Amino acid sequence: MSMAHMTTAGENEAARLDAEDPLAGFRERFVLPDDVIYLDGNSLGALPRATAARVQAVATAEWGTGLIRSWNSADWIGAPARVGAKIARLVGAAPHEVIVADSTSVNLYKLIVAALQSPLAKGRSVILSEPGNFPTDLYMIESAMATLGGRHRLELVPRDGLSDRMRDDVALVLLTHVHYKTAERYDMVAMTAAAHAAGALVCWDLSHSTGAVVLDLASARADFAVGCGYKFLNGGPGAPAFLYVAERHQSTVTSPLGGWMGHAQPFAFADQYAPAPGIARFLCGTPPILSMAALECGVDLHLEAEMALVEAKSRALATYFIDQVGARCGGHDLELIGPSRGAPRGSHVSWRHPQAYAVMQALIARGVIGDFRAPDAMRFGLTPLYLRFTDIAQAVEILAEVLTTRMYEAPRFQVRQAVT
């Protein structure tokens, strides 16, 4: 992917934007293959350079040599709260309001059931969300309702009708702050206030927001939140997730998964469960330390960057990307999905195309890695810590070529793989 051919005004602009980028220095902190333009860091964040060595040290020194002693001496036991407190700084929460545990899905279940069973939801039966929310959010609502015995009802209301639907039968509003496909972004302050005005609780899924946009759960007075470790936090494949419970709720809600690590005295080995004080009651089983160590590296790296700069660069990358696609890929049936140029958004850009799957396969074959999202979306993640404007310029160049030459029509790009 030589840049010798790049001479347009757009490309010169890219070089200028890179030169002015205050976050440019972060790129070298990541391992990135030379032959790839990685636009999928919102699905799996790239590997920080520090991580492999850290994971190696945890395996050989802490596990191999320290053995069982490392639960104390290397503070493995403190990892969920320690890493949680670091993530709290990225989401605008107090250190003791966030803990790392389990997966996003499991954490959703904990918080949905905890909310529905809390005194605050008494006499209310409706859970509000939107159609097309990330599937596992909707599935975990279904799961929670099924376990709780059919006393609740899920209503999926398109986002422009949500505020109107917030009435006094609503127990919980569960929304994904940045939409996984469209990058549409809720006004967290306004939406939380609307829910609270109706007496409802709010749980925010921050999976596509954390490490991508400025978050302030405290100002929004959010009740609950969950988020993912393996996207913008660069915690590694299947990294542990996190959850947030506002301090004011911590003594009144309990986890439906009251495992031994959430016990007030795990090592008293008592027959009866007694929840730990505070956020620790939302722990369940033993935390996966190798994966936790990788997550901590990703979070530590993020904490070096100012989130306002990260969000500003994300916005600039998106604007540049949209402009370049507009300028160079016209007449090829691409339709921008989600927020228009310059509007508030998350940190990815998606286009609809009748052959979205095949076009994405052709792009991947050319080294431009994005995501296909059924049925017809191509999604490109914009990760401000390791993407350059010149990467976007090259990606658009290759996209234009794939579309113009119709190389995506080759049979090898048309056959669907089982998974991506």
* Residues designated as active site: 134, 205, 230-231, 379
Contact call for residue 33 and its own copies (CB under 8 A): yes
- Binder of its own copies out of 95, 199, 256, 344 (CB under 8 A): 256
Taking the complex as a whole, how short is the minimal distance between the CB of residue 248 and its own copies, in angstroms? 22
Radius of gyration of the chain (CA): 22
Q: What are phi and psi of 202, to 5 degrees?
A: -130, 135
Options 111, 213, 284, 305; binder of its own copies; rule CB under 8 A: 284
- The torsion angles phi and psi of 371, rounded to 5 degrees, stand at -125, 145
Among 11, 40, 97, 205, binds its own copies (CB under 8 A): 40
CB nearer to its own copies: pick between 12 and 73? 73
Residues 340-399 that bind its own copies (CB under 8 A): 364, 369, 371, 373-374
Q: Which of positions 61-100 make contact with its own copies (CB under 8 A)?
A: 62-65, 67-72, 76-77
Asked if the bond preceding 375 is cis, omega within 30° of 0, the reply is yes
Under 8 Å CB-to-CB from 232, ≥6 apart: which residues? 41, 42, 45, 208, 210, 211, 212, 302, 347, 383
Q: Convert residues 192-231 into a mask of x (bound to its own copies by CB under 8 A) and - (unbound).
A: --------------------------------------x-
> Is residue 276 within the footprint of its own copies (CB under 8 A)?
no
Asked if 291 touches its own copies (CB under 8 A), the answer is yes
# residues contacting its own copies (CB under 8 A): 94
123 near its own copies, judged by CB under 8 A: no
Helix (H, G, I), strand (E, B) or coil at 407: helix
- Other C-beta atoms closer than 10 Å to the C-beta of 247 total 13
If one asks whether residue 257 binds its own copies (CB under 8 A), the answer comes out as yes
Nearer to its own copies, 77 or 400 (CB): 77
119 binds its own copies (CB under 8 A): no
Contacts of 137 (CB under 8 A, 6+ apart): 108, 129, 174, 176, 205
Q: Write each residue from 325 to 344 as x if it is in contact with its own copies (CB under 8 A), else as -, in one continuous string.
A: --------------------
Minimum distance between the CB of residue 31 and its own copies, rounded to whole angstroms? 4
| Residue owning tokens 């958004």 | 345
Q: Which two tokens stand for residue 114?
A: 């905890």
CA distance 103 to 151: 26
Taking the complex as a whole, the smallest distance from the CB of residue 240 to its own copies amounts, in Å, to: 7
Do residues 262 and 255 lie in contact, with contact meaning Cβ atoms separated by under 8 Å?
Answer: yes
* Look-up of token digits 């039968």: 169
Tokens of 146: 């099924």
The whole-angstrom separation of Cα 119 and Cα 29 is 47
Nearest distance, CB of residue 397 and its own copies, angstroms: 21
